[in-house]
Structure 1
Amino acid sequence: MSPRSEVLDLDTSAAPAAPAARGPSSDASPDHPIPPLPEVGAAAWREANRRLLAKALGEWCFEEMLAPISEGEGRYRVDLGSGTSYRFAARPGAFGWMKVDPASLTRSATSMLGNSIAEPAWDALRFLTDAASTLGTDPSTLATYFNELSSTLAVDAARLSRGGHTAAELRAVGHTELECHMTGHNWLVANKGRVNFSASDVRRYAPESRQPVRLLWVAVHRGLAEFRGTSTLSEREVLARELDDATRARFARVLTARGLAPDAFVWMPVHPWQWEHAVLVLHAADVAQQRIVPLGDSPDLYLPGQSIRTMANVTTPGRYDVKLPLRILNTLVWRGIPPHCTLGAPVVTQWLQCLLDADPFLTEECRTVFLGEVASVTVRHPYLSQVEDVPYQHLETLGCIWREPVAARQAPKERVRTFASLLHVDGAGTAFVAELVRASGLDAEAWLQRLFDTLLVPLMHVLYRYGITFNPHGQNTLLGFDERDVPHRLYLKDFVDDVCVSFTDVPERGPEPDGHDHVLPRKHPSVIRQHVVDQVFVGHFRYLAPLCEEQLGVPERAFWKRVRRTILDFHQRFPALRERFAEYDLLVPEIPRYALNRDRIVVTRYTDRALRHALYPNGTLPNPLAHD
């Protein structure tokens, strides 16, 4: 299978232009029909379930939602309140996590004759219902989570049925397309829940479907909408970059034909699903009164990333990525964009880039790239925004953020991949990280050291020198690789609402861009540190270390020892920051546990809230970096 065999031809030179004033239909466009559902057989369904069941056992035991009982020789048992027991083999790893072997799973339940019968276990949905009373959730939450879990399984089973690229083939795939081959959040069990998406919506708009999408452009009256950009970027410059002359003229004619002045409106893209399911409903009054006017489809095609709401231009890759709200619930939150994020994005970008681009260590030695969120449009709902405590899903339905694309910053022979891609395992069981190491010609430990230096050194420098942290999870953190597939520099994105600063005094930060609106969350240094610990160490190295032991022959102990040495080498190089090393200590013996799955199933459940809630720690974890 060639690396492009499942991707539509993106040459749009012969594609017919969409009618200018027509909003998109809920059906797929004629040039890009909804792909058929792959035929999912019983074998694929069982295998997808078996893998997810093993993941659920590992993560729910890790978060202490379930209590594993050791039976010796790497075997464990979980007894559930329903009277069933699950047994499995698992290998203990860092932070008290266990990697469960899917082939080892058995389920025991008391039969009609009173004896306990063990059978191979593969049904993740049955496991959820078996575990319901032990998890401590309520029936309503269980039913909604059941839907999220079933949706995740449907995608996973379809992927298994369809097959996929080998790890070797993925080496040749570009950044945008590679995102479409990933399998979702590695920590969250129901990582493709996508509440509000139908099955056809998933086939049309989810990243794994790899279907190019045309965005709808709309004009929003300036009484509702506000454009903001960095100091060097005007509204007209954004439109000139994103739309060619003919398209801008076509859109202007739509407005003048209605007797409307084009300059009285802010122009912006909208996701076609969002237009149909949120804007035409919540903003029906504004559409009827021509405060919101559909202009027509984008001439360019876009592919969604793993977040679904961030779209990358594949027709003209140098144009901006676009982050758009979607009224779907996925991986813990509704995927809208808060107005404070759209308002704050350009000013936070401007501040960060002015601060960090003036740092020669970051720019010259590390050559770190900060992909700025350079422009935005904010649209507040004219009625609901006036009411206190309205759930946030209703207030974040329209707006956009334009972000610098990877393609505009990468070198000619450089490949850029997400940090999360290293954890990908192909259908033959080969980890992408193992394929990259083998292709590089370096021995595994030397390659890993290049990874740790590339990833950790810039993050530590920003943390210790400036008291700033990003949210460096697998999609926000990108790695640039040289022509030998060796990591050599870091790319960071998603600044607004994901950048936090310590509330301690840090002179190196200079004046901060708060003004009257608080756009930079201020947190205790221990919480700032936790962003790095959770997202890099717990969220990714926890899974990467056993992959490296299994497929590269690097023992987990050696993996963590090398990570610790990377941190200590940084400390030795910058002794003037000694007090900061203690303030943001990455080597403490215990770290707080933030239980992501437990938060959805037990704590937050599906309560409709006015604000995104903060996670609170649930116990502690032993830190593998505390000792050699």
Structure 2
Amino acid sequence: HRPGVTPMRAPHEHPVPHLGDVSPAAWREAGRRLLAKAVGEWCFEDMLKAVDDGDGNYRVDLDSGITYQFRATPGAFGWLRVEPDSLARTGTGMLGNSIAEPAWDVQRFLLDSATTIGTDASTAATYFTELAATQAVDAARIEHGGTPVGELRDLGHAELETHMTGHNLLVANKGRVGFSATDVRAYAPESGRPVRLVWLAVHRGLGEFRGTPELSEQEIVRRELDEATRDAFTGRLTEAGLDPAGYVWTPVHPWQWDHAVQTLHAADIAHRRIVLLGESQDRYLPGQSIRTMTNITTPGRYDVKLPLRILNTLVWRGIPPHCTAGAPVVTQWLRGMLDTDPYLTEETRTVFLGEVASVTVRHPYLEDLPGAPYQHLETLGCIWREPVESRRDPDERVRTFASLLHVDSAGDAFVAELVRASGAEPRLWLKRLFDTLLHPVLHVLHRYGVTFNPHGQNTLIGYDEQGLPGRLYLKDFVDDVCVSFTEVPERGPEPDSHDHVLPRKHPSVIRQHVMDQIFVGHFRYLAPLCADQLDVPEAEFWRMARETVLAHRRRTPELASRHTEYDLLTDQIPRYGLNRDRIVVTRYGDRALRHALHPNGTLPNPLAAG
């Protein structure tokens, strides 16, 4: 078996069929759903224009002479929720007549629409592979049937992650450029297959450990590795004639060790600046980001964030050295500020899962190359993060915010299952959700001018013993925490030597993180699920969300100027198109740095009055 992969199937593993085991019907159904998502999102991002033909019927006319017709329901922010079974493709037949046929082929749709979108052949071909990889995983899930939401309710945080289906906004959300089909079955979250991590010793001239004040390098190693493993690893260094004290130890993902480290750092390995120690005994499950691993053998041990040189959801999934170096100091700064706030610590009991220690390894040659693509500079290092299991109450279940959007193969939404199981009236349950999620986020935004980029994986909800939302968990601080460039006395001294880790931005941009990640990125999809399965109309859903924002304002009248500065109730908000960025703007050229998104028009804000 591959190093780092447990060969025996564990109880929570899910069979991920080879494509040869996927039926044509499952492939077509996966394509139909993905096509509906593509039509809806690409029109939403103004890549394509939807023509309203009345009575819920729409069409998209393409430069290629092809037209796609469909039925859709208008939603918040000007989004169209496309009905997959209604899609039809009309083209010109051999006799010059127009022929309409049911449409399910999302790959054909990409090629049909390429010139209308304005992308080039190279980008379209590479994006085609991302679409195909995404459809392959979706088809395998359809073939297998998936797990009913009623069974998902009893799963722990790490195992629930393996049942999720990827990023909401991005169409090709499981592209994973660099992974083979075998790699997907071994390392992707949907396989549910535990992974053992490889450990390396990195010479101190190349690697650097950092931790929060209470965590020494020795303490991290003692916490993460049992005594027998520590002794075995130390023995490998001494047997090779090397001084163990001259090295810092770090885990590495087994795929990364095989595909990136042994090639890019071949000279360091040959000169014993990097030494392979072996596998640790603990097994980990990957989350939806793939590179963040949760320990399932010893749950109290830290989550580990590891670089992977694969391209997925817009960027190469490495970890920049300035992020590994800055993670502990950012965590310590946030703790000093937020852990002394009674509203967060006592009233809402908000949990901030700190990134408490890290190892930074810079490439000794490529870091001196001007303009070197960032994918080559982020191949080795790690961040240790506090795990959910160490902070949750005994009777508390913690689930990602994104999990509420999950729909099983029978069409049942996870959010509806949670509401039914709680026995609460849907509006009461939703009010608890809005209060739990929004009050802490808005408090930090308005009082401190800070946001956490609270997307569905960074934001977790803790549910009480009745199944009601009870408190908020936030994670992934480094490179995702932003602060306003306006002076905010409540922030106190800031770690200014890490400006590139704590970027200063205009208040309107800080606000946009909250708008995009919570309201556009999640509530846009949650509202129709609640309308369909909980009988809470979308208009009422948005009124409740707006009322929560207003309740926060009433609670903090002393921050009235900041309510205006970071106004979430404005009539229009900028539109940031993630799919458009990949297909039209960024494409697939190597870049020296991750880039900032730029707005493309505006969206009507459902939180605005009236």
Counterpart of 2:200 in structure 1 is: 218
Q: Deviations over 1:456-501 (max 9, x none)?
A: 0000000000000001000000000011211000000000000000
Q: Distance in 1 between matches of 2:505 and 2:105?
A: 42
| Aligned positions of 1:22-171 closer than 5 A | 25=2, 28=5, 30-31=7-8, 37-38=17-18, 39-171=21-153
Residues 245 and 143 of structure 1: CA distance in aligned 2, closer, same or farther (over 3 Å): same
Q: Which moved more, 1:516-525 or 1:301-310?
A: 516-525
* 1:198 partnered with 2:187: no
Q: Deviations over 1:89-127 (max 9, x none)?
A: 000000000000001011100111111011111111111
Q: Distance in 1 between matches of 2:131 and 2:331?
A: 36
Q: Deviations over 1:158-190 (max 9, x none)?
A: 011112111110000000000000000010000
Q: Distance in 2 between matches of 1:133 and 1:200?
A: 34
Letter in 2 for 1:582: T
Counterpart of 2:265 in structure 1 is: 283
C-alpha contact 2:5 2:194 (8 A) present in aligned 1 = no
Q: Distance in 2 between matches of 1:264 and 1:59?
A: 52
* 1:328 partnered with 2:310: yes
Counterpart of 2:332 in structure 1 is: 350
C-alpha contact 1:75 1:89 (8 A) present in aligned 2 = yes
Letter in 1 for 2:309: R
Q: Distance in 1 between matches of 2:4 and 2:509?
A: 45
| Aligned positions of 1:224-239 closer than 5 A | 224-239=206-221
Q: Distance in 1 between matches of 2:8 and 2:324?
A: 32
| Aligned positions of 1:325-474 closer than 5 A | 325-474=307-456
Which of 487, 507, 518 matches 1:536? 518
Q: Distance in 2 between matches of 1:478 and 1:26?
A: 32
Q: Deviations over 1:233-271 (max 9, x none)?
A: 100000010001111000000000000011100001000
C-alpha contact 1:52 1:124 (8 A) present in aligned 2 = yes
Measured after TM superposition, the shift of residue 515 of structure 1 is 2.7
C-alpha contact 2:30 2:138 (8 A) present in aligned 1 = yes
Which of 528, 538, 554 matches 1:556? 538
* 1:309 partnered with 2:309: no
Q: Distance in 1 between matches of 2:426 and 2:2?
A: 51
Residues 475 and 27 of structure 1: CA distance in aligned 2, closer, same or farther (over 3 Å): closer
* 1:596 partnered with 2:578: yes
Instruction: Please give the secondary structure, in 2, of the residue aligned with 1:451.
Output: helix
Letter in 2 for 1:186: N
Letter in 1 for 2:532: E
Letter in 1 for 2:214: T
Which of 270, 292, 297 matches 2:279? 297
Q: Distance in 2 between matches of 1:545 and 1:109?
A: 35
CA RMSD between the two structures: 1.2
* 1:546 partnered with 2:528: yes
Measured after TM superposition, the shift of residue 416 of structure 1 is 0.1
Aligned residues: 605
Measured after TM superposition, the shift of residue 516 of structure 1 is 6.4
Letter in 1 for 2:17: L
Counterpart of 2:157 in structure 1 is: 175
Q: Distance in 1 between matches of 2:431 and 2:566?
A: 22
C-alpha contact 2:4 2:195 (8 A) present in aligned 1 = no
Instruction: Please give the secondary structure, in 1, of the residue aligned with 2:195.
Output: coil
C-alpha contact 2:44 2:80 (8 A) present in aligned 1 = yes
Instruction: Please give the secondary structure, in 1, of the residue aligned with 2:70.
Output: strand
| Aligned positions of 1:569-580 closer than 5 A | 569-580=551-562
Q: Distance in 1 between matches of 2:55 and 2:124?
A: 34
Instruction: Please give the secondary structure, in 1, of the residue aligned with 2:201.
Output: strand
Q: Where does the alignment leave 5 or more consecutive residues of structure 2 unmatched?
A: none
Instruction: Please give the secondary structure, in 2, of the residue aligned with 1:301.
Output: strand
Measured after TM superposition, the shift of residue 29 of structure 1 is 5.3
Residues 27 and 305 of structure 1: CA distance in aligned 2, closer, same or farther (over 3 Å): closer
TM-score (norm 2): 0.98
Counterpart of 1:208 in structure 2 is: 190
TM-score (norm 1): 0.95
Which of 576, 590, 597 matches 1:608? 590
Letter in 2 for 1:198: S
Instruction: Please give the secondary structure, in 1, of the residue aligned with 2:520.
Output: helix
Q: Which moved more, 1:617-626 or 1:161-170?
A: 161-170
Instruction: Please give the secondary structure, in 2, of the residue aligned with 1:300.
Output: strand
Measured after TM superposition, the shift of residue 28 of structure 1 is 4.8
Residues 104 and 518 of structure 1: CA distance in aligned 2, closer, same or farther (over 3 Å): closer
